[in-house]
Amino acid sequence: MKNIAASVAGAAIVLLVLAQASGAHERPLAYTQLAVASSPRPTPVATVSRGPVPPPTPSLPTTTTFGAIGALERNPATQVSALDPYLADHDPAVQTRAVLALGRLGNPDALGELTTILEDRRRADQVRAVAAFSIGLFASPSSLQPLEDATRRDAPVIAAAATGALGRIGGATVVDILTQLLSDRDAGVRAQAAVGLGEVALPGAPAIDFAHRQAAANALTSSIQYERDQEVRWREAWALSRAFYQNAAPILRRMLTDDQELVRLYGVSGLRRLGDRSYALPIRLLADDPSWRVRWEVHYALVALRDPTRVNLKPPEIPLADKAEPVPVASSAPAGDHPQVAIVTNKGVIVLELFPDAAPYSVDNFLSLVDRGFYNGLTYFRVISDFVVQGGDPKNTGDGGPGYSIPAELNPLEQLTGIISYGLDYDTKTNTPLINSAGSQYYITQSPQLHLDRAFTVFGRVVKGMSVVDNISDQPDAPRPAGIGPPDVAKRVYRCEPVTPQTDEVERKLRTAEIGYDAR
């Protein structure tokens, strides 16, 4: 069954660098300005073709530099040395794209080359930062020293990427490094240190002893009380809630009254995991919280604590603007740097912006299926409130796909609110995702899900209609109870003209920020 598991300043620069390195200048740019329709146009309904269908043809041919790198990256038989000409190219954008390909190949032989690039101060900062990210994909303890050195000595963009890579490796030594980096001067480094600390204590990571676990909890507890950057604070709250709830009950209790929505949400979530019924009363006081997401977490917590208090679970109202269908674009039109896609549901319209800069073939695949009409009429078969809504299965059961799979394109983009990623198959013996098993099933997050960053490819984000995503109904297990209607459905899915400005600042926030980017 396809399923998913039940960085600000510095990192933002890394992600903008990926946009330069993705071959955007080799793509014809179709629509870059905000489109305003004088009158609604009827949405074309493509002929439904649900497969099995052939895999998509890459939009960047191998006759282009970035198309050639992409072809090498997608071939598991590619030798590390095949990327040498691109690593030696005079253009830092080409070097950056090749460095990312080295990481995605997953060949341990690439670690030595990546480490050399990270330590080479003659290379551009953008190249070295992506080298740090790629090193993290291997999660090798042998990389601890060069990554730590980068956090101490290099520019913030490199230090933030190296900090994030350390979190993927885990272990007691990493905890020691990251707890110190929580007080770094750069917000991007602090944010990645918080996420990394959360990762090192998640199931499946190398075991850490009680002393290191308590040290990490104490460092996060101290930091969150004085941290002024909101992007850093909610990541610290996530780490406390997800990984250190057993060591941080007092601060989790204080988080319930925080002004920041996500901090309150993670306070409730952490106390739910703790399972201490003495916290039912302060959790109960949030039953009418202004935030729909917080109220759902309160509901989950009170159910777990066997508290019968009723919680207001009414989703946010859908404004009329989120029911208007955007102007369609012909399926034959060039994708452009920032293609947008409209999903017309029975509740309203969701508009996605796709990220070919970060995941080019994943975007090619999604657009190919959209153009075929593959997604028209498919239900959202798996919905868990304040987690994800999942659709794209031609069987509407969780077991279907297009008849092929595509490789992962892991990138530094985090699983923030409104992110779209592909669902994956799972290894039934280890209950771990098979990262190269994406097909047609996709999910959209309703809140940050940073624990999914390790295996799931981010390839777009909601830019309009987040209220519609929040109103997709949660799906009870079959048989459906009396009074519960049919699942919500994606009636039509099509390419559309942009509905949001696509300035550099908007694009940066879209790819990196939870606070300050309003998807509604």
Helix H segments across 75-186?
A: 84-87, 92-105, 110-119, 125-138, 144-153, 156-169, 172-181
Say how far apart CA 42 and CA 35 lie, in whole Å. Answer: 16
CB-based contacts of 145, cutoff 8 Å, min separation 6: none
The pair phi, psi for residue 12, each rounded to 5°, is: -60, -40
Q: In the beta sheet, which residues pair with residue 427?
A: 432
Segment 421-444 shows an average pLDDT of: 91
pLDDT tens column, 85-113:
999 999 999 999 999 999 999 999 999 99
Given a contact cutoff of 8 angstroms between Cβ atoms, the answer to whether 412 and 400 are in contact is no
- Span of 125-129, 441-445, 474-478 with lowest mean pLDDT: 474-478
pLDDT band at 486 (very low <50, low <70, confident <90, very high): confident
Which of 55, 101, 99 minimizes the C-alpha distance to 78? 101
42 cis-preceded (ω within 30 degrees of 0): no
Say how far apart CA 354 and CA 419 lie, in whole Å. Answer: 10
Segment 195-217 shows an average pLDDT of: 93
Please report the pLDDT score of residue 517 as a whole number: 75
Segment 281-295 shows an average pLDDT of: 96
Q: How many residues would you count in the chain?
A: 520
The torsion of the CA quartet 420, 425, 431, 435, rounded to 10 degrees, works out to -70
How far are the Cα atoms of 329, 369, 421 from residue 449, in angstroms, in the given order? 32, 26, 11
Which CATH topology does 34-57+318-512 take?
Cyclophilin (2.40.100)
Please report the pLDDT score of residue 49 as a whole number: 55
CB-based contacts of 333, cutoff 8 Å, min separation 6: 30, 495
Segment 487-502 shows an average pLDDT of: 95
Please report the pLDDT score of residue 478 as a whole number: 54
Average pLDDT value for the chain: 89
Segment 463-488 shows an average pLDDT of: 78
Which of 112, 226, 496 minimizes the C-alpha distance to 342? 496
Statement: residue 427 has pLDDT above 80: yes
CB-based contacts of 217, cutoff 8 Å, min separation 6: 240, 244, 247, 248
- Span of 42-56, 196-210, 381-395, 475-489 with lowest mean pLDDT: 42-56
pLDDT band at 14 (very low <50, low <70, confident <90, very high): low
pLDDT band at 29 (very low <50, low <70, confident <90, very high): very low
Statement: residue 41 has pLDDT above 90: no
The pair phi, psi for residue 345, each rounded to 5°, is: -105, 175
CB-based contacts of 195, cutoff 8 Å, min separation 6: 7, 164, 167, 235, 238, 239, 414, 450
pLDDT band at 30 (very low <50, low <70, confident <90, very high): very low
pLDDT tens column, 151-197:
999 999 999 999 999 999 999 999 999 999 999 999 999 999 999 99
Statement: residue 484 has pLDDT above 80: no
Which of 467, 436, 462 minimizes the C-alpha distance to 320? 467
- Span of 97-101, 206-210, 322-326 with lowest mean pLDDT: 206-210
Please report the pLDDT score of residue 43 as a whole number: 37
155 torsion bin: left (phi>0), alpha (psi -120 to 50), beta (else):
beta
What's the CATH class of domain 248-314?
mainly alpha
Structural tokens at position 348: 């309203």
Segment 397-417 shows an average pLDDT of: 95
Please report the pLDDT score of residue 117 as a whole number: 98
Please report the pLDDT score of residue 515 as a whole number: 84
Say how far apart CA 359 and CA 319 lie, in whole Å. Answer: 31
Say how far apart CA 180 and CA 270 lie, in whole Å. Answer: 23
Q: Domain-by-domain residue ranges, the chain?
A: 34-57+318-512, 248-314
Statement: residue 6 has pLDDT above 50: no
Say how far apart CA 470 and CA 220 lie, in whole Å. Answer: 30
pLDDT tens column, 45-71:
444 556 678 899 999 999 999 999 999
498 cis-preceded (ω within 30 degrees of 0): no
List strand residue ranges (DSSP E) for 311-457, in order: 340-345, 349-354, 378-379, 382-384, 388-391, 419-422, 426-427, 432-433, 442-445
Given a contact cutoff of 8 angstroms between Cβ atoms, the answer to whether 43 and 325 are in contact is yes
pLDDT band at 22 (very low <50, low <70, confident <90, very high): low
Strands 388-391, 442-445: pairing is antiparallel
* Percent of the chain surpassing pLDDT 90: 80
Please report the pLDDT score of residue 26 as a whole number: 47
Structural tokens at position 503: 């300035």
Given a contact cutoff of 8 angstroms between Cβ atoms, the answer to whether 97 and 22 are in contact is yes
